[in-house]
Amino acid sequence: MELNTASKLANPIQSEHHTFSKWTEHIELINAIIAGVLIGLGCFLESNGNQSIAIPLFILAFVIGGYAKAKEGIEETISEKTLNVELLMIFAAIGSAIIGYWTEGAILIFIFALSGALETYTMNKSQREISALMSLQPEEAWVIDHYGNERRVHISSLQIGDTILVKPGERVPADGIILSGKTNIDQSAITGESMPVEREISDEVFAGTVNGNGSITIKVTKKSTETMFQKILDLVQSAQSEKSPSQQFIEKFEGTYVKAVLALVAIMMVLPHFALGWSWNETIYRALVLMVVASPCALVASIMPATLSAISNGARNGLLFKGGVHLEQLSKTKVVVFDKTGTLTKGEPTVTDIIITDSVDHDSFYEAVLSIENQSNHPLARAIVAKIQKDFPMSIANMASVDEKSGFGISAVLHDVKWKIGKADFVGRDLADSFGDGVSGKLAKEGKTIVYVVREDQIVGLLALKDTVREDAKVALQTLQRNGIKTVMLTGDSQSTAEAISKELQIDYFIGECLPEDKVNEIKALKEKYGTVTMIGDGINDAPALAVSDVGIAMGEGTDVALETADIVLMKNELSKLTKAVTLSKKMNLIVKQNIVFSMSVIAFLICSNFIQVLDLPLGVIGHEGSTILVILNGLRLLRG
């Protein structure tokens, strides 16, 4: 505690810089809110006849609210040599002020500033996923030299062929091959396997995975820049740098729209005077009216209120959307890709079958299994202990001796009787195969892990465990399929386990034993074949696939990396929320389309009315702002239900 306090006192500048950074990250939103307050105060003063005080407030709102977007528009115009909507909005607001309509101009600035602030905030938040990934990569490793001495080095100094030591509970610092030792490795960060896998001499291990309860030495086979973990980082970064087709279309439309409006305004300032005999005052007046009515205020409002309403609706129903673009994309989904572990299944082993032979008393069997498995920390052992304690509560007996082989099984002497509990290779393959009528084979085909129980060289029973499916998974999948959406499962688990889960849930298509890059390649292939693809997962290994998919969805109880990378989060871990998200997305897109058609029709009507001189500025403002209010109210309908 004293060290932390001293550190803060010694680095007041660093602490102040951190606070300053937090403020600057939200500066656009803060400025937009300040501008909104100033506009409200200005409107109040103006309504009470204090226009001389209200106008300076409106000017201040222009400067504070419009600075960021004006700067962005100018810089983008200079760098890309093309006009943009930012400049048009600023011109329209200034034009409104020039002809005396300060309130309309200020509100225009406020709406655009607020939407820009929300967009910037979302973009900044999404960039944090890379740092979340990096925190899982070990920075140092224990290197063993030719003399057997251990020394701590940074992973960047590791060379191919180096020998490193990984102690129990540590993350593996580099990809490599085991030279000595046996252990079980939690590979969920890389492969998504639901249970730790046994690893021994000559087996491959990956950086970022977690070593179990055995020390191992590893021969490094890849540099730190080429590991599987680093590939995950690279895949996320490259996927995020790619622009979607809809984004490219919006950017192209933006430049065309602005050029068209500005060109029309320029023509209106000159042509009617010579061609139609209008006075210069009338010509300039009509050009300024055009600047106001053609500004895309209603067009902008067509999307943002509807999007925010849908996001709020989703939040109330356990759905976290990270931006409106993801809501838009979700309704176009043709294929939903599921990870298995933690997504379709609960992500933890559960005892599904207990079979006991007639050669042993049931109470003796349960007492032995409970007492012996209670000595182990293996996930399967914990699941077995939990099952017996729940269904067959009894006391745990003391044992004369216990010998556990990590990831394989455990043997013990209980009441002068020798017991063995574990996999087939541990208890003896012949004994395992002798279990009657191919029961174990049938259970294995169902994707279950078999644990055999042997007493004094005689097999007396077995327990089958399985990562059970979520209760709502089948209903969610069937709902998607009824709506014409294909369902695909990509998992790091074995092919037999994947097949069993696929049959149980009636999934359209599945692939087992998928590494992260395999999932990415499969999603790219699905995008080429079907179009828009949505991916839902919960693990670190799912991050690249979530990033490369059109819409990435994470389970709320998943890893931080998956949550950061995903576009949508199911906060309550309920797959039924996925179908609700699709429905909400379709409703939002329908309302947005209605708003866009309506707002563009109003703009076209007002422009035509202005050109034939039947529209005065007050009516133009009423029509323009009235259409804005209507599309906002239409968007707010999404708050219901």
Secondary structure (3-state) at 205: strand
* Range list of H helices, 11-50: 12-25, 27-47
Rounded to the nearest 5°, which phi and psi values hold at 37?
-65, -45
Q: How many residues does the chain have?
A: 641
Q: Are 511 and 187 in contact (CB under 8 A)?
A: no
Residues near 364 by Cβ (< 8 Å), separated by ≥ 6? none
Distance CA 589, CA 532 (A): 15
End-to-end CA distance of the chain: 50
Q: Which of 561, 491, 542 is nearest to 137 (CA)?
A: 561
Q: Tokens representing 482?
A: 């009824």
Q: Tokens representing 487?
A: 């369902």
Q: Tokens representing 599?
A: 């707002």
- For tokens 């395992």, the residue is 432
Distance CA 164, CA 178 (A): 10
Distance CA 544, CA 240 (A): 10
Q: Tokens representing 373?
A: 């498995």
* Angstrom distances, CA of residue 519 to CA of 15, 136, 510: 42, 20, 11
Tell me which DSSP letter residue 513 carries: S
Distance CA 480, CA 30 (A): 41
Q: Tokens representing 120?
A: 């910037």
* Range list of H helices, 297-339: 297-316, 324-330
Distance CA 226, CA 496 (A): 31
Count Cβ neighbours within 10 Å for each residue of 295-315 and write b for 16 or more, e otherwise. bbbbbbbbbbbbbbbbbebbe
* Angstrom distances, CA of residue 622 to CA of 85, 603, 619, 629: 22, 12, 5, 10
Count Cβ neighbours within 10 Å for each residue of 138-169 and write b for 16 or more, e otherwise. beebbbbeeeeeeeeeebeebeeebbbbbeee
Q: Cite the active site residues.
A: 339
Distance CA 570, CA 161 (A): 44
Sign of CA dihedral 316, 317, 321, 325: negative
Burial class (CB in 10 A: 0-12, 13-18, 19+), 556: middle
Distance CA 292, CA 110 (A): 15
Q: Are 523 and 236 in contact (CB under 8 A)?
A: no
Q: Which of 614, 628, 621 is nearest to 291 (CA)?
A: 621
Residues near 418 by Cβ (< 8 Å), separated by ≥ 6? 411, 412, 455, 456
Q: Tally the C-alpha atoms within 13 A of residue 289's C-alpha that lie toward its C-beta.
A: 26
Cα maximum dimension of the chain: 115
- For tokens 């607001």, the residue is 93
